[in-house]
Amino acid sequence: MASIQRVLIFLVLLYLVWRVLGIRGRKLSRELRESGIGREPRSRPVDPSQPLVRCAGCGTFFPAERIQRDRDGLGYCSDDCRQRLAASGEHAAS
Ligand SMILES: [Zn+2]
């Protein structure tokens, strides 16, 4: 059947990817060395792997790691939002 051909094609692709990555990696590390070794930005913008949650106060989306929780378990983007909602009409649900 064609499964052997598929395996061969897969191996060829794998080889090509490996070569491309290898060449790129070497170039990249050389560039990094030339331009003052790997400066890692300390404050990354927003980690795309972070799940976003919605603020119960203002409705904006923000990374889940910055969540501020209410006594009721509601999530807020900041303490300000939490306090603002607590100050104005606290329990809309109950
Ligand atoms: Zn908010």
Provide the residue-wise pLDDT of the chain in tens; the chain has 94 residues: 578 999 999 999 999 999 888 877 777 777 777 777 656 666 666 566 778 999 999 999 999 999 999 888 899 999 999 988 888 765 554 4
CA 45/CA 62 separation, integer angstroms: 12
In the chain, the number of structural domains is 2
Size of the chain, expressed as the number of residues it contains: 94
Q: How far is the CA of 32 from the centre of ligand 1 (A)?
A: 39
CA 83/CA 90 separation, integer angstroms: 9
- Range(s) of the domain holding residue 30: 1-36
Q: Which residue, among 28, 47, 46, has the nearest Cα to 38 in the 3D structure? A: 28
Q: Is residue 46 part of a domain?
A: no
CA 84/CA 39 separation, integer angstroms: 39
Q: Is residue 93 part of a domain?
A: no
Q: Is residue 20 part of a domain?
A: yes
CA 27/CA 41 separation, integer angstroms: 21
Q: Is residue 80 part of a domain?
A: yes
Q: How far is the CA of 71 from the centre of ligand 1 (A)?
A: 16
